[in-house]
Structure 1
Amino acid sequence: MPNTKNWLSDQWQHLTKDWFSTKEDQTVPLDQVSLFYQSDFYHSLDAGLKSAFYDGPLGGLDARIIERKDLKFLHNSYQLWENGRNVSCAIYGEKGTGLSTLLNVFVNDLKQKEKPYKLLPLNKRLSNEQEVINTIAKALGIENQDYKLDDFIDLVNQLPPMVIAIDNLHLLVQRTLAAQAVIDCFSAVILASRGHHFWLLAAEDQAWRRLCYGYSFENLISHQQHVSNFSESQMRELLINRFSYAGFNIINDIPTDKLHKEKGPLHNIAKRSKGCVELGLFYCLNHLTHGTKPQSIFLMKPGEIDTTPLKKLTQSELFTLAEISTHGQLAVREHAKIFRMSHNESKMILEHLRVLGILDITEDNAVNPVYQMKLIICAVVIRYLISMNYLY
């Protein structure tokens, strides 16, 4: 017969380890987070679970999307434009806030109502006036020629009125002297056709701030909206929705329809994520085991992410991360130009940050690779940079 006293003692130690652990036990190494999607554990997960917890932009009709008030802002602004007002607008928010998903939902609504639109996601930096004209012309279906700016604006205004949505505006320019020519051309096209077309811009928070204080970008638009990170209740809803999408309806022995008000591990994950979707998804996948019942999951209590490695970075590396957060991404030649370094010096800094798991190469080009921050830890890094006054 088992010793009841010993059994109770073992259970108590198990509970205290999970719920009242030391500060050291509560931390998660930064590289465990940044390299999570390359780990054997992640690759061992069920394909349906990984699909449910996909961390990229979602299509306009995706069942994993939860309702957000910012969509109403877009529809209200669009309605003002349809009623004859000279309206253009911008949305901006922290990387990973869901700007691209919001645009996808909005343009899908337009599609359902058979309203004309063009969605232009920028995927590379524009370096001169002609590149601006060519990029917009291609998106609008205008024949590609070497137009003069005034002639091109006339062509844009001859098109039927439509929504022109530009995503990834943070990739527009590099912070160099040549940026002004790009900004001037881009601004001229929008200001000259605003009202005839409904311009909608989407940019990451730090980039939008710099575009405004450096180039008065706010003058291009009449309405702007900061897209906030998810609240704790929204994060709970989003994570419950993801588990349901994957076919799980019981979490820690609690049915998912009763989890919204429970103070269990899912509540702790929503709180610990601080509104960042990528962290919420990571905490769920990294802290789960399959439950004892069909379609059930057991979640462990999440720990704080250890930012000690960030404290060991040099000033040049921290400024590099700050510039990447305001540019969206940087190639080696761009980094060298901004910091007035040699190509090899820039390469060494960027590669060191990649080896640490902070940066990813987004364009596999051995001649001129492009680096951006890993999405999963982007919020952690940016908040650290703000706390150290490298960003604001």
Structure 2
Amino acid sequence: MEPMKSRWSKWKEKLDVLFERIKDKLSLLKKKVGIIDESEPISFDVAEFMSDTQQALEKLPNDYREKCEIKAIQDKHNFLFREEEMEKIEKCLEHWKEDRFVTAALVGEKGSGISSLVNIFLENHPELTVLRAEIDDKISEQDICMEWLSSLLQKHLENTQMAIQILQDEFDGKVIVLENLQHLFLKKVGGFEGIRTLFDIIASTGKQVFWIGALTPSSWNYLDKTVSIRNYFTTDIHLNDIKADQLKQLFLSKHKGYKLKIKPTKEIAKDKSFKKMSDKEQQEFLEEQFFYMLNSLSHGNLTLAQLYWVRAISTVENHEVQLADISKIETDFLENLNPEQLFSLQQMLIHDGLNIEDFASVTNQPLLVCRNTLIPMREKGLLIQPSEKYTINPVLYQPVYQLLKDKNFIH
């Protein structure tokens, strides 16, 4: 007879296997009904997303790497999917030329194509005299704002009235494009002097100068509630989400000269219907699947789509690009973030990133406390720090935005 100890070992093995199966099924069921395991760790893929993507980019051949670099679109033939937004800004220009007070705000996420839209608009109007500036640093105080405007206009401006007079007299008929208006304020007492100064100037010069401002939706919504930004822009043009077929058209045009070959997943390769297709039909099917997933994961954001594209590249040889399946990065762990982390993400979202000093200023906390908050969030991949500023990891931007909205941190 088999010893009791041996029989127990066999039963234990069977029970362990059964337990693991039950645990897996429970985990799957939890995700389906929205229950998150509180011990679920932050995905390693999230923490390493940007560095892994940069490494993948550096491994590409030099001639193809240029096509994968993130930069604004210059060729209008590659930008046909923004026709509706272009029509609106063209209409604004038309009305302004009729000596009417017209100002335009372009509202879109970073990477949605605002700079590209402006590029094509200006390309269509070589007759315009344009001043264009991209605001990188926080300018929340009036005196700093006046210094910045002095540099932009190449004039010494002592006060707001002087700026208005010079713009009316010397810049009549010109266009001024200001990108990243979200950097002209800080959410604190006295933190709106910079943007109020600019708005006062715009309100008095909107007939002489065609002002075009650009900012993120979160900043637009916040500024609308705090300083009534709609009162200063006669038209707000919101960039719509692009669709999968539009994203496909853009990428195929951008990577023209290279043949795409998409590798099927093991599951698709085994599918009977797929096996019956011709090689051409298989690639057409795989392309549709690939660009649908690319658009879904990037939420229509061109910059994020480009990052996922780079990560999907297997090889580039003889002008053929082989693309593998794009895997979704799990973000369920966001549900377990504590209130302090959610509040920090809210500040990053509204301000489109903050350096440590500005974060301390808007949260009214000592620098040491702020470092102890932000550095762990950066190391876990919630934030990135490409320069002095901390910003939300691009791959988490939309999930974070939705989470903050669901929890009433933003409206």
TM-score range, shorter chain: 0.7 to 0.9
Partner secondary structure for residue 386 of structure 1: helix
Bigger shift: 197-206 or 315-324?
315-324
1:334 aligns with 2:358: yes
Distance change >3 Å, CA 53–CA 360, structure 1 → 2: same
Question: C-alpha distance in 2, partners of 1:109/1:260?
Answer: 37
Q: How far does residue 251 in structure 1 lie from its aligned partner after superposition?
A: 4.6
CA–CA distance in structure 2, aligned partners of residues 107 and 137 of structure 1: 23
Q: Specify which of 307, 320, 344 is matched with residue 296 of structure 1.
A: 320
Closer, same or farther: CA 94–259 of 1 in aligned 2, 3 Å: farther
> Which deviates more, 66-75 or 344-353?
66-75
Find the partner of 1:44 among 59, 63, 67: 59
> For 1:383, which of 384, 402, 405 is the aligned residue?
402
Alpha-carbon distance between aligned partners in 2 of 1:339 and 1:251, rounded to the nearest angstrom? 48
Q: Please tell me whether residue 181 in structure 1 is matched to residue 200 in structure 2.
A: no
1:273-284 correspondence to structure 2 within 5 Å: 273-284=298-309
The residue number in structure 2 matching 1:218 is 230
Question: What's 1:194 paired with?
Answer: 206
CA distance in 2, matches of 1:350, 1:299: 35
Instruction: Give yes or no for contact 2:107–2:216 (8 Å, CA) kept in 1.
Output: yes
Contact 1:81 1:198 in 2 (8 A): yes
Deviation, 1:191, is 0.3
Cα 1:229–1:35 change in 2 (3 A) is farther
Paired with 1:333 and 1:358, the residues of 2 have a C-alpha distance of 19
Taking the aligned partners of 1:62 and 1:46, their CA distance within structure 2 comes to 26
Asked if the contact 1:34/1:358 (under 8 Å) is kept, the reply is no
Distance 1:386 1:300, change over 3 A: farther
AA partner of residue 106 (structure 2): I
- Alpha carbons 1:91, 1:227 under 8 Å: kept: yes
Task: Please state whether the residue corresponding to 2:105 is helix, strand or coil.
Answer: strand
Equivalent position amino acid for 1:236 in 2: K
- Which segment is superposed worse, 312-321 or 90-99? 312-321
Q: Which runs of 5+ in 1 are unaligned?
A: 1-21, 364-368
Secondary structure at the residue paired with 1:264? helix
Find the counterpart in structure 1 of residue 274 from structure 2.
none
2:373 aligned residue: 349
1:234 paired to 2:246: yes
Q: Distance in 1 between matches of 2:200 and 2:59?
A: 52
- In the other structure, the counterpart of 2:122 is 107
Contact 2:140–2:195 (CA under 8 A) maintained in structure 1: no
User: Which residue of the partner structure matches residue 88 of structure 2?
Assistant: 73
Do 1:77 and 1:87's aligned partners in 2 also have CA atoms closer than 8 Å?
A: yes
Q: 1:172 matched to which residue of 2? A: 184
Bigger radius of gyration: 2
Residues 204 and 331 of structure 1, relative CA distance in 2, 3 Å threshold: same
Encode CA deviations 1:171-213: one digit per residue, 9 max, x unaligned.
1111111123323321110000011111111001101111111
Of the three residues 150, 157, 165, the one matched with 2:161 is: 150
Pick closer, same or farther for the CA change 1:375–1:65 going to 2, 3 Å.
Answer: farther
- Structure 2 distance, partners of 1:205, 1:333, is 24
Residue 167 of structure 1 and its aligned partner are, at CA, apart by: 0.3
Give unpaired runs (5+ residues) of structure 2.
Answer: 1-26, 30-42, 264-278
Root-mean-square deviation over aligned CA pairs: 3.0
1:237-287 Cα deviation digits (max 9, x unpaired)? 122223326x335555659xx959963333332344331223322332222
Which residue does 2:38 correspond to in 1? none
Q: Which runs of 4+ in 1 moved over 6 A?
A: none
Higher-helix-fraction structure: 2
Deviations 1:42-77 (A, max 9, x none): 43222333321223x415348765541222221221
* Structure-2 change in CA distance of 1:284 and 1:161 (3 Å): same
Query: Any idea what SS the aligned residue of 1:305 has?
Result: coil
C-alpha distance in structure 2 between counterparts of 1:30 and 1:23, whole Å: 21
Mapped partners of 1:298, 1:261: distance in 2: 12
The 3-state SS of whatever aligns with 2:82 is coil
Tell whether the 8 Å contact from 1:278 to 1:376 is kept in structure 2 after alignment: no
With over 3 angstroms needed to count, the CA separation of the structure-2 counterparts of 1:260 and 1:138, relative to structure 1, is farther
In the alignment, which of 77, 94, 102 is matched to residue 109 of structure 2? 94
The one-letter amino acid of 2:121's match is F
Closer, same or farther: CA 225–259 of 1 in aligned 2, 3 Å: farther
Q: Using the TM superposition, name which of 61-70 and 347-356 deviates more.
A: 61-70
Which residue does 1:319 correspond to in 2? 343
The superposition leaves residues 118-168 of structure 1 with CA deviations (integer Å, 9 ceiling, x where unpaired) of 1121111113222222222221222x24x1221221111111321111101
Does the residue aligned with 1:85 lie in a helix, a strand or coil?
A: coil
Cα 1:101–1:376 change in 2 (3 A) is farther
Q: Distance in 2 between matches of 1:266 and 1:28?
A: 25
Q: How many residues align?
A: 355
Distance in 1 between the 2:165 and 2:219 partners? 30
| Cα separation, partners in 2 of 1:100 and 1:122, compared to 1, 3 Å | same
For residues 298-349 of structure 1, the C-alpha deviation after alignment (integer angstroms, 9 at most, x for no partner) is 3333232211343343221221111111111212122122222111001111
Aligned-residue sequence identity (percent) comes to 18
